[in-house]
Amino acid sequence: MIYAVRAFSLLIGLAFGLFQTGYIVGKANGVDLRTVGSGNSGTTNAVRVLGTKQGLLVLAGDAAKTLLAMMIVFFTFGRMYPEMKLLLCMYAALGAILSHDFPFYMHFKGGKGIACTAGYCLALCFFNPWIFIVTFFVFLIPWLITHYVSLGSLCVYVALVFEFVLYGQMQWPGFQYEQPVLIEIYVIEFILGALAFFLHRKNIVRLVKGVESKTYLRKSKRDEYNAMKAAKEAAEKAANEAGESSVK
């Protein structure tokens, strides 16, 4: 029965994760986010393509579906099995993020799970609010300094892995479970982190090369950045064409 409860928790998450907010909001605005910008149906691409308001709507929807999936498990199976409440909620989060990233009815092309992670961190407030507080600033500070959403997102998952192990081994409030349960919790958290890094592998390459796209919430700053980026790309293209002509 214990394994069945794990499976049901995962399935609840999978069902909620199939609600593709970015695709729905994009279509409502006459755009398929998978075919424009970065080709991703997540929050960041929605902000760049549709603007801040629509991007925040996508963020809210994707965060809410993960939060709701975890809360359903929290108030149902979590009450039945308090000795593994956090673990079951994490199975729900894993399911929501997996089906968000790889929706079968969209040819497995979804988002990267970062907005879902925001909902995941919000739900963790029911266990220990410091999880959300720490990860919020871990994301915010790198993003405000660099305007690289991908950098802030990856920092969040690094912080989450360290937080989970620290809180669990120290038996802090919300993480007072038997060691086998804690190890399973750590494994799921590591899987979520590894998945985030895998889906951001191209972003990591661009970060290393210094060519990652920046994201601004203010329209004026976003337009200014896009204009500068377009001018730079045009100059590079002209230089390449001139070089090819000289070789000929």
The 3-class secondary structure across the chain, one letter per residue, is: CHHHHHHHHHHHHHHHHCCCHHHHHHHHCCCCHHHCCCCCCCHHHHHHHHCHHHHHHHHHHHHHHHHHHHHHHHHCHHHHCHHHHHHHHHHHHHHHHHHHHCCHHHCCCCCCCHHHHHHHHHHHHHCCCHHHHHHHHHHHHHHHHHCCHHHHHHHHHHHHHHHHHHHHHCCCCCCCCCHHHHHHHHHHHHHHHHHHHHHCHHHHHHHHHCCCCCCCCCHHHHHHHHHHHHHHHHHHHHHHHHHHHHHC
What pLDDT, on a 0 to 100 scale, did the predictor assign at position 122? 97
What pLDDT, on a 0 to 100 scale, did the predictor assign at position 244? 61
- Integer Cα distance of 94 and 185 in angstroms: 11
- Integer Cα distance of 24 and 97 in angstroms: 17
Dihedral sign of CA atoms 170, 83, 163, 75 in order: negative
For the chain (length 248 residues), average pLDDT per consecutive 10? 93 97 92 86 88 93 97 97 97 97 91 94 96 96 94 96 97 96 98 97 95 85 76 70 60
Tell me how far CA of residue 188 lies from CA of 20, 41, 222, 232, in angstroms. Answer: 23, 24, 36, 42
Nearest CA among 103, 72, 102, 101 for reference residue 8: 72
Q: Which two tokens stand for residue 248?
A: 């000929």
Question: Rounded to the nearest 10 degrees, how much is the dihedral formed by the CA atoms of 163, 169, 172, 178?
Answer: 120
Burial class (CB in 10 A: 0-12, 13-18, 19+), 197: middle
What pLDDT, on a 0 to 100 scale, did the predictor assign at position 44? 87
Is residue 100 within 8 Å of 20, Cβ to Cβ? yes
Dihedral sign of CA atoms 90, 96, 101, 105 in order: positive
What pLDDT, on a 0 to 100 scale, did the predictor assign at position 40? 83
What pLDDT, on a 0 to 100 scale, did the predictor assign at position 75? 97
